[in-house]
Structure formats: C-alpha cells, structure tokens
Amino acid sequence: MIHARDRAAFPARAGIGLRHPHLPAFLAAPQPVAWLEAHSENYLAPGGPRVAALERLRGDYPLSCHGVGLSLGSAQGLDRAHLARLRALYDRLEPELISEHLAWTTLPDGIFLADLLPLPYTREAFEAVAANVDLAQGVLGRRLLVENPSAYVRFAEADWDEAGFLTELTRRTGCGLLLDVNNLYVSAINRGDDPAAPLDRLPLAAVEEIHIAGHARVAIAGGELLIDDHGSAVADPVWSLLAAALARAGPRPVLVEWDTDIPALPVLLAQAERAERYLREASDAAG
Amino acid sequence: MRLADLQRRLGRCLLEGRSDPAVLERLADPPEQRERRLAVYRNNVRHALLSVLEAAFPVVRQLVGAECFAATMLAFVARHPPGQPVLYRYGDRLPDFLADFSPLAEPWPWLPDVARLEWARNEALFAPEAEPLTPARLAAVPPADLPGWRPSLHPSARLLGSIWPVHAIWDAHQPEGGALEAVELDQAESVLVWRQAGTVRQRPLQPGEWALLIALAAKRPLAQAVEAAAGQDANFDFPVALARLLGAAVLVAPNPESGGHELGDAPDDHFVVRRPVADREERRR
C-alpha cells in the first residue's frame, strides 16, 4: 500500500499548467505562481530545449506531473514500455504529485487515440482499472492521483455512477483523487444532472489536487453540449463549484489548465490569482 | 459486450470516422443525440493529432494550404495512427506517405523531401545532448593520431540529400526567408540539420562538406573523410571546413557516452534519406 504524502510538502496554492509558448518567460524571470504542472508525455524526449527548460524550472517551483497516455482504463492492461518511460522521468524530476485519468486512450494493438475516452462504470471495467492502478503505483513507486474525466456520453450498462466508481477505486488501490471541477461541471450538465451533487459522495479526503479550466458550448438536437476544450477563461459556474469543493475539502492545490488558443502568460496568471482568492476564502473559513 | 470489444469498436469509429450501431446501442443518451455526442470524441482525436502534425510540418502546410493539409492528415492518421503515446515521435512516416499520395506528389514532387527536412528538424529538436568537440580538445590530440582519429556528429545532426532545392524551398517559407520566385527547381541541395545551444539550425552543404560529414557519420577516420571530401571537390579546404563545423558545434569527440537514448545513437540515424542521393548522382552523370 502506498500512503499519501505529507500534504504540507505541496502548497495548497494556485498553479498553472506549463505550456511551451510560456517557457521563454519562465526562463527569463521568476513568475508569480506557486507551482507548475507539466504534461509528462511532453517531456519524454532524450534531450532538447524543452526538457532542459523543465529540468531547470523544476528547481524553482513545486511540480506536479500529469500523464495523458497511460490509459488506466484499457482492458488489455498497461503499456509496460510507457510505464518504464514515466518511471525514468519521475525518478529524474521527483515531482511531488503525479496523476493520470479515469479514461482509456490506447487500443489493444497499441494504437494511441490521443483523447481521454469514456469507460462504462461496470464491475469488469473496475477490475481492469484497479489492476492497472495497482501496477502503475507499484512500478512508479508513488501514489497516483486519478482524475475524473469530462464525459459526452453515458453507457447504459453500469454498476456504479462515477462518484461510486471513484470511491471504490480509492478504497481498493489507495490512489488519490485529482478532482477536476470543470470536468465535474461539464459531465453533469451533459448528463442533465446537478454538478454539485457528486461533492456529497466523492471521497474528498483523497483529493490531493484540483483542476479548473474553460469549456465551450455547442448546440445539439434538443439541447446543448459542453465541450472540455481548455480554450478559454474558467466559466462562472465552475468558479462557484470550485468554491463549494474547497469549502468541503479544505484548501488544496488548484491548477488552471489552458491548452487551446493559449493566451499570453499574464492572462493565465490572472486566472491563478483568482483561484488564490478562493483558496484564501476557504482557508479563512477553515480557520 | 466485453470491455475490450467495446474499446476496439469505439476506437475504429473514432479513427475511421464511421458509425457503429453496436456502439450506439450501448449508450444511455437520447437516441437522436448519440452520433453527435460520439462526434465530440472523434473531433478531439483528429484535432489532437492534426495539431501535432501541424507543429512538426509547418512548411508542408504552407505549401499545400491549411485545408488541403488537414484533409491529407486525416488520410494519414487513418492509415498510420500513432503506435505509442509519445507524440513528439509521431509523423516519422509522413514523408513516405506523401511520396505515395498521388494527389499531392504529382503537382508537388518536392513535397516529400520538404517533409523529410521538417522531420529531420523535429528529430534534431528532441535528440540527446552531447558535449560539442572544442578546438582545445582537438588541439590536445597528438598530431600523429589525427589521421586515424574518428570524431563523430552531434546526436542531433541529420544529413539530407535531395534532388530538389529543399533548403531554398524551406527558406522561402520563413518569415525572414528568401524569395520563392528566386528558387531554381533544377538545383539539387544537400542539407545539414543540427541543434546548437537549444536551437535547430540548418544549412545547405557543398559537395566536399557533404562527403566529409557522410564519412564521419559512418565513423570513418579523419584522413579517409578528408580524402573523400577532396575526391568530391578538388578545391576542398579542410581547415576552413573544420573551423566552421567546430564553430557550429556539429562535431563531437570519438566514442561519446551513449546513455541508452531513444533517438540518434546509431550512426545510421544521421542519414535522413540515402536513395535520392544516388538518384541525384545518376542524374548528374
């Protein structure tokens, strides 16, 4: 069993996702942000300026590494070669937090689909995910945080809802949760549910990191669909949901993600500053 | 339906852009919305992979236009989806795909070599680090040992021989580049691509330099490499060529430490393409 790390080791402050267009600004001067998150797969090359930049910045900022390619939901099990690459990266960078998604990305023949695809919340899927999380935590030698996905479909066959599935997963594997508040919102609206309802049922004590991001809206027959495109400022109802989550879980590291139409760094830092205000409120309320 | 079957079927729908009633039946969403909902995932897959290819092949995209590029990449993705999740390595098969893709290869026969040049730049960007050979290190080699000395190329170095003016075409599509009208299409070019101080650089090579670097990449001793260069160019000035290569951090000392990296270890990795070089030599005869 891999135990949770000391929470004091990582600041319950706002961080931003490190993106290539912002590397020069970070290398030129310290930036007013408490911590950084890097997409693990973007730093697996054997050399070059991006890897060098992250290795340098790692000395100046607490770091979370966020994987987008391990495919915890794959029925065929994990790609051992990829797991070994991640292990080598994490041994080198020693990130305080590492995370992956409750989703699948890879087909049995190894084809990588480059998107976080949905799982049916069945017993069969649970056993596959739990075995994959066990293996990943064993090989990586670290506690893995598992992120709730954004969903556009729902499977008819289900033994749990998402909150129930994640609760059982943290209980079985000892993994932590990365609570993506934007995903919680997007998925609930796309299902026609109350976005705040899962906060009553998720194992909030296991939450070690929170994500927020912007989403888009598209029209579909008989309604509207929210798309988790990380391409705009965080929407007001997502800020409200963040406040509700922090009120219940207590202050936690909050990350602002922005991946398409990436803005100038000050725009992103302003979003992080807004998250800091919510964190201060939660901290004051917690006394 | 077993999870593995569901994933296989859904994966095929997303990659090939078609519908599968067996997948749609598994969804709990209103029937009239199911296709549209799955289309979000399909668009995400396409958008993610298209973004990777756009970043790696910006000049190919400029040459054929954004729309044509996107349509061609859809065909490429369906034929050669990524085989692993490390996407800086995705796109290595695009040059050969373009060579066989007649709608583009016929009007733009130089397009595959431009793609090879862009892929060489991509490989150079992510290749392992290595200490460049310095003049001081070279000066420390006993003169008697120099003829048999085997300096090699920096792990990021790539040698591309083309029957087309591939560097000039590339350069004409850069913000500060040359004029497209000035490119002479019957001019063959050989290009060196490498990374210096974190920046990818490239320049066309004279026949003597090309022969020298080909020999060094093949781990041949310095004396043989110089001989090969002189054989290609009677006026080849080795001291001038050497100073230029040292100044540009293209060379490394013999037997560099190899740390089990994924790129650039084998000498063959320095050669982007060999056949067109032979073609060019045949054409010159």
Residue A237 neighbours by CB under 8 Å, 6+ apart: A185, A195
pLDDT band at B17 (very low <50, low <70, confident <90, very high): confident
Same domain flag for B95 and B141: no
Number of domains comprising chain B: 2
Any domain includes B121 = no
User: Is A223 a residue whose pLDDT tops 60?
Assistant: yes
Any domain includes B118 = no
A111, A128, A221 member nearest B81 (Cβ): A111
Over residues A201-216, mean pLDDT: 98
**For chain B, how many residues are written?**
285
Same domain flag for B138 and B222: yes
pLDDT band at A222 (very low <50, low <70, confident <90, very high): confident
B32, B85, B199 member nearest A112 (Cβ): B85
pLDDT band at A251 (very low <50, low <70, confident <90, very high): very high
Over residues A171-175, mean pLDDT: 98
pLDDT at B92: 97
pLDDT digits 0-9 by tens, B103-143: 999 999 999 999 999 999 999 999 999 999 999 999 999 99
pLDDT at A8: 53
pLDDT band at A287 (very low <50, low <70, confident <90, very high): confident
Same domain flag for B44 and B163: no
Residues of B with Cβ-Cβ distance to A70 under 8 angstroms: 85
pLDDT, averaged across chain A = 96
pLDDT at B267: 52
Locate the chain B residue with the closest alpha carbon to A117: B41
Same domain flag for B134 and B213: yes
Residues of A with Cβ-Cβ distance to B86 under 8 angstroms: 41, 44-45, 69, 82, 85
Any domain includes B81 = yes
Whole-model pTM: value is 0.93
Over residues A4-27, mean pLDDT: 86
pLDDT exceeding 70 applies to what percent of chain A? 97
Between residues B278 and A180, which one has the greater pLDDT?
A: A180
CA distance A50 to A26: 12
Pick from A154, A142, A102: nearest CA to A126: A102
Any domain includes B84 = yes
pLDDT at B120: 97
Q: Answer whether B82's CB lies under 8 Å from A114's CB.
A: yes
A49, A114, A156 member nearest B87 (Cβ): A114
pLDDT digits 0-9 by tens, A81-128: 999 999 999 999 999 999 999 999 999 999 999 999 999 999 999 999
Same domain flag for B137 and B266: yes
DSSP assignment, residue A218? E
pLDDT at B278: 42
ipTM: 0.95
Any domain includes B124 = no
Any domain includes B116 = no
pLDDT digits 0-9 by tens, A128-149: 999 999 999 999 999 999 999 9
Over residues B188-216, mean pLDDT: 97
Pairing of strands A176-180, A144-147: parallel
pLDDT at B271: 74
User: Is B34 a residue whose pLDDT tops 80?
Assistant: yes
pLDDT at A3: 44
User: Is B272 a residue whose pLDDT tops 80?
Assistant: no
Pick from A168, A165, A159, A209: nearest CA to A187: A165
CATH 3.20.20.150 fits A50-286, yes or no: yes
Q: Where is the domain boundary, B57, B78, B108?
A: B108
The neighbour count for residue A276, using CB atoms within 10 Å, is 16
Whether residue B2 and residue A153 make contact (CB cut-off 8 A), yes or no, is no
Over residues B43-68, mean pLDDT: 97
pLDDT digits 0-9 by tens, A45-73: 999 999 999 999 999 999 999 999 999 99
pLDDT at B273: 53
Q: Answer whether A170's CB lies under 8 Å from A177's CB.
A: yes
Same domain flag for B140 and B255: yes
- Three-state secondary structure readout of chain B: CCHHHHHHHHHHHHHHCCCCHHHHCCECCCHHHHHHHHHHHHHHHHHHHHHHHHHHCHHHHHHHCHHHHHHHHHHHHHHCCCCCCCHHHCCCCHHHHHHCCHHHHCCCCCHHHHHHHHHHHHHHHHCCCCCCCCHHHHHCCCHHHHHHCCCEECCCCEEEEECCCHHHHHHCCCCCCCCHHHCCCCCCEEEEEEEECCEEEEEEECHHHHHHHHHHHCCCCHHHHHHHHHHHCCCCCHHHHHHHHHHCCCEECCCCCCCCCCCCCCHHHHEEECHHHHHHHHHHC
Tell me the residue type at A277.
Answer: R
Q: Could you report how far apart the first and last alpha carbons of chain A are, in Å?
A: 32
CA distance B79 to B205: 35
Q: In chain B, positions 36-75, which contact chain A (CB-CB < 8 Å)?
A: 36-38, 40-41, 44-45, 48-49, 52
Any domain includes B113 = no
B6, B85, B88 member nearest A105 (Cβ): B85
Whether residue B125 and residue A76 make contact (CB cut-off 8 A), yes or no, is no
Same domain flag for B179 and B39: no
Domain that holds residue B54: 1-108
Same domain flag for B90 and B155: no
User: Is B145 a residue whose pLDDT tops 80?
Assistant: yes
Lowest-confidence pick of A4-13, A251-260, B54-63, B214-223: A4-13
Q: Exposed e or buried b for every residue in B206-243, given b needs 16+ CB within 10 A?
A: eebbbbbbbbbbbebbbeebbbbbbeebeebeeeebbe
Q: How many CB pairs under 8 A join A and B?
A: 147
pLDDT at A4: 46
User: Is B276 a residue whose pLDDT tops 50?
Assistant: no
User: Is A5 a residue whose pLDDT tops 90?
Assistant: no
Q: Give, in order, the Cα–Cα distances in Å from B35 to each of A13, A56, A221, B31.
A: 40, 46, 10, 8
pLDDT at B255: 67
Same domain flag for B99 and B180: no
pLDDT at B261: 38
